[in-house]
């Protein structure tokens, strides 16, 4: 069962709708117990980094998630702020991140190449993907996804980067460290491109 | 003919695939059904698409063009986005040199493909479009009443909206000539009445179903042109005529789809009537599973009779639904929600006892009598469809 | 690179879709759910749905309808109409909607945007400004802001006000031209240009698009921007026949490429 971690932020319903369309079983998890039957995890997130981390810490699910992901190597995909939470920390706030993928979340507004662009980064943008990665199986030649964010993930080890996108600068938009994945864009709102990615995560 | 509860052994035609799921079917000594016999004796001898058809087409074109001189358009074509009406529009413009107005009735169930096909035809043929958007609330409430009525004739609601809209518009703008995509090539085997192919729009039937299964409030917004009003008033008094040019030209389904695809980017559907989301659901799920009627039998049988499909291929296709289970489950939910029902509500309606139009007030006999009388007097060869 | 967004904008009135001209004379256009489903199948970039009754009638947003619409969207959905509190905004987001827009409520109390941003994140807060050329005899030249389906005018400079809303929490500004609404004669490019130059957040322009060429002109003038349209995607031909359309991906890409190149070389 794919469990979507419902700790208070994130478009859970959109993921449920998407998996329903794909005919893949998925449900939300609000408590540690509801994670018992999980085989894969989705960590959504929108809004401010600190708010998201605080809510996750208060949700009572964090210890179980650590155990599942770090201990049992359960595949997990963080979406948008959910991806940012995988980092060690964010320039947006004070809270430490999960630290599951080494890196830091930075602001477009402080990077010389992007600081003059409209914020947030909003709209459809092209992905430059690492070919052969299981997340990108059956992808079309020019994949594009919907983005909506003002901060971006800067991975410490570029070997963890599975895809980049450009907004002023070329930034890490998909990270993949073994069974831990993070996606800055919104596959649940990216039509067939997103559906394929979620399908690949669920089945591969 | 009343419901006959005695056991009838299963029998299927030796040429087409119509079978005893049509309770009124008859077979001759060769095992041929009456649809096949009707085709051999009545349809085929009178159906010419060679130079005789071309001559008739040309004459018809002249008549319509003459009648339309000085007007913005000379005829009107009801367009659904499906193959028959699309090809009819193509024939009217490109082969007959007419200036049709393309008329589309939006009853709220358009598929993206239907809408896309209409757009491509409008642009490709360089014709004007008029859309009659039926009040969705009215359609929705009437459709729910019909579903609750438990009869197989669920497409009557959309049909009523479509034909009432078309004929009202034609009357308002004094358009005498209406072109439809009805044709022998894919419809020579008619859908049996028992399978929900009720003959025309019967105001009495609608009225009684609404009274007994509606939500209690009036539904005046629902468009309804009674078939007898249409036949007598519109046709005889106002002089409206309905033409079927697809019977005057060679019309092979696959070739027609290829041609429209090549010329306009028109996209073929998986099956007939799939341009409406409701009709697709009704014919692929509701009708087969609630009543055991498979309209595809009639559609495929038409293609078999006209040499466009082999019996083997038809048998293979009819063995499973057009759409897969997952899709049908999702469509069930979509249809329920769109009709403001829960999935449970729709399940209950689905499981309720089956009825027929005979359980409601109707003037079927009058319509049948009228049609028969007209046919005997040579006034009319086909029903309004 | 980031692409311009081409956005159908649907108006809901008494539960049905309508199109207006100059914000008047709503013409019935059909069932919202089927329309949204079709736009989803056509893979629209985003979708905006505005309930034009809710604010005027002072009612809550129609959550049941919003849930049904969101269920059909595999692209971002922005909902607006009758939102006056951050709680309502949160509730709407929970139904699967990406962005919530406010208009009258923001004018009445701009701090609402701050509360909304705290609740759902600034990226999901959209301010819609209905703007028209000043009509009063002694108002002088320029534009004025309106609310309540253009029945009420406010003495505020739209651009300065947009900047104010940006400062207090708006993550996107939608510029809606009342004069151009339903005319299909092109966007107000001058106003769009000025607004784009004055803002840091993304801008979407609505009102007047009659063809893809109009959208191309907008993008040429403003660069990457949201080009929203109602009539263009819902009507066809001289009889304004209701027919839902949306450009194919190749057509959209080609138009945007040309427009952005022209923008860069201005």
Q: Which CATH class is domain A2-203?
A: alpha beta
Structure-token match 């930034």, residue found: A171
Using DSSP's 3-state secondary structure scheme, residue C64 falls into: helix
User: Which positions of chain C have pLDDT values less than 70?
Assistant: 136-140
A73: enclosing H helix or E strand:
none
Q: How far is CA C186 from CA B284, C180, C212, C229, in A?
A: 45, 7, 10, 10
> Which residues from chain C sit within 8 angstroms of residue B131, using beta carbons?
236, 239, 241-243
Contacts of C203 (CB under 8 A, 6+ apart): A118, C172, C173, C174, C175, C192, C195, C196, C222, C225, C226
Q: Which chains touch C (3 or more CB pairs under 8 A)?
A: A, B
Residue of A nearest to B327 (CA): A21
Stretch B359-365: mean pLDDT, rounded?
88
Catalytic member of A140, A188, A191, A192: A188
Catalytic member of A80, A92, A173, A185: A80
Q: Which of A111, A119, A59, A47 is nearest to A85 (CA)?
A: A47
β-pair type (A169-177, A180-183):
antiparallel
pLDDT score of C152: 81
CB atoms within 10 A of CB C144: 19
Q: How many angstroms separate the CA atoms of B282 and A121, rounded? A: 45
Q: How many angstroms separate the CA atoms of B254 and B252, rounded? A: 6
Q: Which of C32, C114, C137 is nearest to C77 (CA)?
A: C32
Are the CB atoms for C96 and C67 separated by under 8 Å? yes
pLDDT at B240 > cutoff 90: no
Mean pLDDT of chain A: 94
Q: Which domains does chain C have, with CATH numbers?
A: 5-264 (3.20.20.70)
> Which residues from chain B sit within 8 angstroms of residue A19, using beta carbons?
none
Contacts of A82 (CB under 8 A, 6+ apart): A10, A42, A43, A44, A45, A52, A182
Q: Inform me whether the C-beta atom of residue C241 falls under 8 Å from chain B C-beta atoms.
A: yes
CB atoms within 10 A of CB C138: 5
Each residue's pLDDT tens digit, B254-276: 999 999 999 999 999 988 888 89
pLDDT at B159 > cutoff 80: yes
pLDDT score of B372: 58
Instruction: Copy the structure tokens of residue B117.
Output: 């096909």
Q: How many angstroms separate the CA atoms of C187 and C225, rounded? A: 13
Point out the residues of C that are catalytic.
130
Compare B138 and B201 and report the one with higher pLDDT: B138
Each residue's pLDDT tens digit, C167-192: 999 999 999 998 888 888 899 999 99
Q: Tell me chain C's radius of gyration from C-alpha atoms.
A: 17
pLDDT score of C24: 81
Q: Inform me whether the C-beta atom of residue C156 falls under 8 Å from chain B C-beta atoms.
A: no
Q: Which of A22, C66, C49, C98 is nearest to B337 (CA)?
A: C66
Can you point out the beta strands (E) in chain B? 75-78, 100-106, 128-133, 177-179, 241-243
Stretch B369-383: mean pLDDT, rounded?
47
Can you point out the beta strands (E) in A45-143? 76-79, 89-90, 103-107, 121-126, 128-129
Instruction: Copy the structure tokens of residue B335.
Output: 């249809």
User: B161 burial class (0-12, 13-18, 19+ CB within 10 angstroms)?
Assistant: buried
B283 φ, ψ (degrees, to nearest 5):
-80, -25
Can you point out the beta strands (E) in C77-210? 77-80, 99-102, 125-133, 143-147, 152-154, 172-177, 203-206
Instruction: Copy the structure tokens of residue C104.
Output: 């009258």
pLDDT score of B233: 67
Interchain proximity A191–C202, CB inside 8 Å: no
pLDDT score of B1: 45
- Residue B4 pLDDT grade (very low, low, confident, very high; cuts 50, 70, 90): low
pLDDT at A145 > cutoff 70: yes
Q: How many angstroms separate the CA atoms of B59 and B243, rounded? A: 12
> Which residues from chain B sit within 8 angstroms of residue C236, using beta carbons?
119, 122, 129, 131
pLDDT score of B5: 55
Q: Inform me whether the C-beta atom of residue C69 falls under 8 Å from chain B C-beta atoms.
A: no
Each residue's pLDDT tens digit, A1-60: 999 999 988 889 889 988 998 999 999 999 999 999 999 999 999 888 998 999 999 999
Distance from CA of C224 to the nearest CA of A (A): 9
Q: How many angstroms separate the CA atoms of B313 and B315, rounded? A: 5
pLDDT at B252 > cutoff 50: yes
pLDDT at B88 > cutoff 70: yes
Distance from CA of B317 to the nearest CA of A (A): 24
A:C CB pairs within 8 Å: 97
From B148-152, B272-276, B283-287, the region with the lowest mean pLDDT: B272-276
B:C CB pairs within 8 Å: 67
CB atoms within 10 A of CB C48: 25
pLDDT score of B301: 95
Interchain proximity B135–C16, CB inside 8 Å: yes
pLDDT at B194 > cutoff 90: no
Instruction: Copy the structure tokens of residue A119.
Output: 């914020």
Mean pLDDT of chain B: 88
From B90-99, B226-235, B348-357, the region with the lowest mean pLDDT: B226-235
Q: Which of B189, B197, B192 is nearest to B36 (CA)?
A: B189
Distance from CA of A72 to the nearest CA of C (A): 31
Stretch B331-356: mean pLDDT, rounded?
95
Start-to-end C-alpha separation, chain C: 19
Q: Inform me whether the C-beta atom of residue B128 falls under 8 Å from chain C C-beta atoms.
A: yes
pLDDT at B376 > cutoff 80: no
Interchain proximity B131–C31, CB inside 8 Å: no
pLDDT at B2 > cutoff 80: no
Q: Which of A9, A123, A195 sits opposite C2 (nearest CB)?
A: A123
Are the CB atoms for C154 and C123 separated by under 8 Å? no
State the DSSP code for A147. Answer: E
Are the CB atoms for B266 and B120 separated by under 8 Å? yes
Beta-bridge mates of residue A148:
A122
State the DSSP code for B192. Answer: P
From A117-121, B193-197, B321-325, the region with the lowest mean pLDDT: B193-197
Interchain proximity A167–C2, CB inside 8 Å: yes
Each residue's pLDDT tens digit, B16-64: 999 999 989 999 999 999 999 999 998 988 888 899 999 999 999 999 9
pLDDT at B378 > cutoff 60: no
Q: How many angstroms separate the CA atoms of C238 and C100, rounded? A: 34
Between B325-338 and C32-41, two packed helices, what is the crossing angle to 10 degrees?
A: 150
């Amino acid at each position: 069962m794919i469990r979507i971690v419902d700790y208070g932020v994130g478009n859970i319903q959109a993921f449920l709708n998407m998996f329903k369309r794909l005919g893949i079983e998925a449900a939300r998890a609000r408590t540690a117990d509801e994670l018992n039957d999980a085989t894969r995890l989705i960590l959504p997130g929108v809004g401010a980094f600190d708010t998201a981390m605080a809510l996750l810490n208060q949700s009572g699910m964090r210890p179980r998630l650590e155990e599942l992901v770090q201990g049992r190597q359960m595949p997990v995909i963080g979406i948008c702020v959910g991806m940012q939470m995988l980092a060690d920390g964010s320039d947006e706030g004070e809270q430490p991140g999960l630290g599951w993928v080494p890196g830091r979340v930075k602001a477009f507004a402080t990077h010389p190449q992007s600081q003059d662009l409209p914020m947030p980064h909003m709209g459809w943008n092209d992905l430059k993907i690492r070919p052969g990665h299981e997340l990108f199986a059956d992808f079309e030649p020019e994949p594009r996804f919907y983005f909506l964010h003002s901060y971006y993930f800067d991975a410490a080890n570029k070997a963890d980067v599975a895809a980049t996108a450009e907004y002023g600068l070329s930034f890490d938009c998909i990270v993949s460290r073994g069974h831990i994945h993070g996606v800055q864009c919104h596959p649940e709102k990216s039509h067939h491109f997103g559906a394929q990615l979620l399908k690949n995560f669920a089945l591969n | 003919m009343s419901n006959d509860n005695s056991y009838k052994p299963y029998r299927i035609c030796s040429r087409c695939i119509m079978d005893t799921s049509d309770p009124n079917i008859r077979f001759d000594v060769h095992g041929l059904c009456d649809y096949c016999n009707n085709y051999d004796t009545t349809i085929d001898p009178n159906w010419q698409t060679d130079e005789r058809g071309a001559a008739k087409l040309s004459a018809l074109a002249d008549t319509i063009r003459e009648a339309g001189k000085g007007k913005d358009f000379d005829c009107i074509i009801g367009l659904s986005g499906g193959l028959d009406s699309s090809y009819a529009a193509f024939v009217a413009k490109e082969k007959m040199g007419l200036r049709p107005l393309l008329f589309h009735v939006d009853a709220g169930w358009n598929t993206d493909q239907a809408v896309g096909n209409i757009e491509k035809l409008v642009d490709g043929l360089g014709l004007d479009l008029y859309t009659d958007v039926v009040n969705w609330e009215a359609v929705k409430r009437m459709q729910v009443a019909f579903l609750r009525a438990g009869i197989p004739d669920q497409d009557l609601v959309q049909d009523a909206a479509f034909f009432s809209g078309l004929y009202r518009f034609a009357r308002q703008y004094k358009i005498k000539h209406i072109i439809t995509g009805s044709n022998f090539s894919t419809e020579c085997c008619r859908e049996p009445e028992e399978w929900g192919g009720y003959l025309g729009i019967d105001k009495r039937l609608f009225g009684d179903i609404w009274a007994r299964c509606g939500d209690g409030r009036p539904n005046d917004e629902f468009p309804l042109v009674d078939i007898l009003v249409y036949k007598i008033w519109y046709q005889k008094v106002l002089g409206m005529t309905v033409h079927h040019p697809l019977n005057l030209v060679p019309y092979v389904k696959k070739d027609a789809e290829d041609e429209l695809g090549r010329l306009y980017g028109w996209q073929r559907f998986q099956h007939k009537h799939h341009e409406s989301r409701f009709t697709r659901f009704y014919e692929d799920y509701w009708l087969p599973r609630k009543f055991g009627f498979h309209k595809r039998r009639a559609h495929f049988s038409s293609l078999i009779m006209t040499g466009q499909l082999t019996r083997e291929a038809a048998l293979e296709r009819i063995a499973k639904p057009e759409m897969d289970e997952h899709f049908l489950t999702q469509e069930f939910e979509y249809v329920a929600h769109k009709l403001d029902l829960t999935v449970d509500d729709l399940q209950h309606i689905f499981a309720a006892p089956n009825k027929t139009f005979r359980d409601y007030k109707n003037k079927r006999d009058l319509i049948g009598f009228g049609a028969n009388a007209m046919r005997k007097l040579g006034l009319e060869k086909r029903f309004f469809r | 690179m980031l692409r311009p967004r081409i956005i159908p904008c649907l108006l809901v009135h008494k539960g049905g879709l309508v199109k207006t001209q100059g914000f008047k004379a709503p013409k019935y256009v059909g069932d919202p759910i089927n329309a949204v489903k079709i736009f989803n199948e056509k893979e629209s970039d985003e979708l905006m749905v505005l309930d034009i009754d809710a604010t005027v009638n002072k009612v809550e947003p129609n959550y049941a309808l919003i849930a049904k619409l969101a269920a059909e969207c595999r692209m971002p959905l922005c909902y607006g109409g009758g939102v006056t509190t951050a709680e309502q905004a949160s509730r709407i987001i929970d139904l699967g909607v990406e962005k919530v827009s406010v208009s009258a409520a923001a004018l009445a109390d701009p701090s609402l945007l701050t509360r909304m941003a705290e609740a759902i994140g600034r990226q999901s807060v959209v301010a819609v400004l209905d703007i028209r050329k000043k009509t009063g005899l002694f108002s002088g030249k320029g534009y004025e802001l309106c609310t309540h389906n253009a029945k009420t005018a406010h003495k505020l400079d739209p651009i300065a006000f947009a900047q104010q809303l940006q400062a207090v929490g708006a993550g996107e500004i939608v510029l809606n031209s009342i004069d151009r609404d339903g005319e299909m004669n092109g966007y107000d490019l001058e106003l769009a240009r000025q607004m784009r130059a004055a803002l840091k957040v993304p801008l979407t322009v609505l009102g007047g698009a009659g063809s893809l060429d109009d959208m191309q002109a907008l993008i040429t003038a403003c660069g990457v921007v949201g080009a929203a349209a109602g009539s263009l995607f819902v009507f066809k031909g001289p009889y304004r026949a209701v027919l839902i359309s949306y450009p194919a991906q190749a057509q959209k890409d080609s138009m945007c490429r040309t427009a952005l190149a022209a923008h860069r070389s201005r």
